[in-house]
Structure 1
Amino acid sequence: MGFRGFIVLVVLMGTRRGPTAAVSLKDMSAHPVLVAESQKDLTEEEGDRDVMATGELNPNHFPARRAAKVVQHYLNTRYGSPYRLFGLEEVLSATAEEVDDTGRRYHLQISAHEIISNRKQKCSAEVFFPRGEPTQPAEVKASCEELLQNTTAQEEALYQRYKGNHSLLSAQYIPDSHGHIEPDMMPFWHLSIVASSFIMLNESTENTLYNMAQVAQITQLETESDELKFDSHMLLHDMVSQEILHWKLLFTWSPVGGVKVQQMKQIPKPVH
């Protein structure tokens, strides 16, 4: 069952003031590849945006890119880490088919991009968007094994640094209003994108196109478990509605266990 309409059973600890830094397209990522990707998604001219065509699709138009974007979120939830982050380089080909009355399935050939190592690979993927109520998350099949570079040493060093740190991490506005990220915060920007990919994967439909916009707040929490635990306030950009969406996200990470989302809840936009 998806997280849409998710009822939070445990109250998030503490309160966080709402972001005051302006979020623009240039703030959506400090990495130039992600900026270029976001701009391409935003500037596509698709007259058939709401026409759910079947058969062969134009790989540059919204239906194909929307489905491929879901594959990006899926790869990040499966394989992402502070030192491994996936992007969509290009949609090479796409077809769509109706599956009885249950939904639509997309067959894709894409070029996926592991951004930190700058490695690229052609991948095959399937994305199925179910119909009906309550809304169910998309189902994805994809594999890009050649992109899975070993990052164990880097992850272990980061983990040990913050697991044994006497002062817990607390940061705001990643990136800031000028698109800048401090070098020490870059792994946590990557980690936040990976964690937010769980939201974007669960919330994606045939009428959405999500990108990470900004980490408004991230705070490390005390825990007796082996994972690092974070309470965060994420800003996501739906490029179809042009809305900035606010989400509270509680998640853990360790090199062994990866990212595990414990709670996620959409919250109202702060009023200033």
Structure 2
Amino acid sequence: MATGELNPNHYPARRAAQVVQHYLNTRYGSPYRLFHVERVYSGNAEDVGDSGRKYQLEISVQESTSNATEKCSAEIVFPRGEDYSPEVQASCVKLLKIDTKVQEEALYQQYKKNQTLLTAHHLPDSHGNMEPDMKPFWHLGIVASSLVMLGESSENTLYNMAQVANVTQLPTENDQLKFDYHILLHDMVSQEIIHWKLLFTWSPAEGVHMLKMDQLPHCHDCDKPPNTN
């Protein structure tokens, strides 16, 4: 692995930046607020003894709803061993002040009161399209899958969420909307599509709370989701 100053356009810097994106969505994402790393300005990597390797990045992050961008500093530590998740610190003060509470509360109340529970498939479809009212559930799938991608990430990985294959709303529990998601992750290193089943709850007050996540066996005959590069 490269040590010292990194080329911001090469894989080591891009992989570390993608981990920051997963972290921000895990911590602060919602059906109406998602974060995307637009650009890596600079990066540095160093060994930190037996504890792992530390990356320091200057990146540009965009928030999806407002399209606002901010230059942020981030630090990522990849611990030694395969069973440890990266440790991330990121400072994007302005983006975190974007308020989407009104939209989130309206969505929550609508689906809390619905007599018919939501079911949807292929978000987006094979042409990259989806109904506008399904976009919040695509975003919610990205937030939930970021928990998986953050936990699975290492210096050698580059994950993206490709598609929500299926989403089923389950009966509300303790004032939390409850969902069963089947998501497809794109492993951009091996070009494999990895299937996961996620069971989680969501509310504006509590955010996403993961109840269960299971990686499914490799599916040879599954349709390929739309290109997400």
1:81 is paired with a residue whose SS is: coil
1:269 alignment partner, one of 218, 221, 224:
218
State the partner residue of 2:94.
146
- Report the CA distance between 1:269 and its aligned residue: 2.5
Q: C-alpha distance in 1, partners of 2:46/2:218?
A: 37
State the partner residue of 2:161.
212
State the partner residue of 1:75.
24
What amino acid does structure 2 have at the position aligned with 1:110?
I
TM-score, normalising length from structure 2?
0.94
Note the 1:30-45 alignment, pairs <5 A: none
State the partner residue of 2:132.
183
Q: Which has the higher contact order (CA 8 A, sep 6+)?
A: 1
Q: C-alpha distance in 2, partners of 1:102/1:177?
A: 43
- Report the CA distance between 1:135 and its aligned residue: 1.8
Higher strand share goes to which structure? 2
Structure 2 segments unaligned to the other structure (5+ residues): 222-229
State the partner residue of 1:137.
85
| 1:156-176 deviation per Cα after TM superposition (whole angstroms, max 9, x unaligned) | 000000000000000111000
Q: C-alpha distance in 2, partners of 1:257/1:101?
A: 36
Note the 1:45-124 alignment, pairs <5 A: 52-124=1-73
What amino acid does structure 1 have at the position aligned with 2:108?
Y
1:127 alignment partner, one of 76, 92, 114:
76
- Report the CA distance between 1:74 and its aligned residue: 0.3
Q: C-alpha distance in 1, partners of 2:131/2:93?
A: 31
Q: C-alpha distance in 1, partners of 2:129/2:174?
A: 33
| 1:51-98 deviation per Cα after TM superposition (whole angstroms, max 9, x unaligned) | x11110000000001001000000001110000000011001100000
Q: C-alpha distance in 1, partners of 2:184/2:173?
A: 29
What is the aligned residue count?
220
1:190 is paired with a residue whose SS is: helix
Q: C-alpha distance in 2, partners of 1:263/1:195?
A: 11
Q: C-alpha distance in 2, partners of 1:56/1:251?
A: 40
Q: C-alpha distance in 1, partners of 2:14/2:175?
A: 38
Q: C-alpha distance in 2, partners of 1:193/1:257?
A: 17
State the partner residue of 1:257.
206
1:77 is paired with a residue whose SS is: helix
Structure 1 segments unaligned to the other structure (5+ residues): 1-51
- Report the CA distance between 1:271 and its aligned residue: 4.7
